[in-house]
Amino acid sequence: MVQHAHMTQSNMSFLVSRPALPVLAQLAVTFAVLITKWSLRKRTRKHLRHLTHTQLDDIGLSRAEAHYQATLPFWRP
């Protein structure tokens, strides 16, 4: 366990001490994160449309709330 804690600490110091990414690389990472969020939203909302009443009860949503969330465009949080 001590070895794992030491390894985590050394990994963190590496991340903190490394130089910042070039501007173009930062933009590429930001764009990739945005596309990933949009993809996840689209997939989640697609699956939300197909949940049963029991499944919606389990997550605390009514059919109307699920329908509203499922019809939002992928770019809207």
Residue 1 inside a domain? The answer is: no
The count of domains in the chain is: 1
Q: With a cut of 70, say whether residue 15 has pLDDT above it.
A: no
Q: What is the pLDDT of residues 23-43, one digit of tens each?
A: 999 999 999 999 999 999 999
Supply angle C-alpha 52, 69, 72, rounded to 5.
135
Do 63 and 53 meet the contact criterion of CB atoms below 8 Å apart? yes
Domain that holds residue 52: 22-77
Q: Is the pTM above the cut of 0.85?
A: no
Residue 41 inside a domain? The answer is: yes
Do 70 and 49 meet the contact criterion of CB atoms below 8 Å apart? yes
Residue 14 inside a domain? The answer is: no
Which letter, b or e, does each residue of 32-53 get, where b requires 16 or more Cβ atoms within 10 Å of its Cβ? eeeeeeeeebeeebeebeebee
Tokens encoding 50: 């197909």
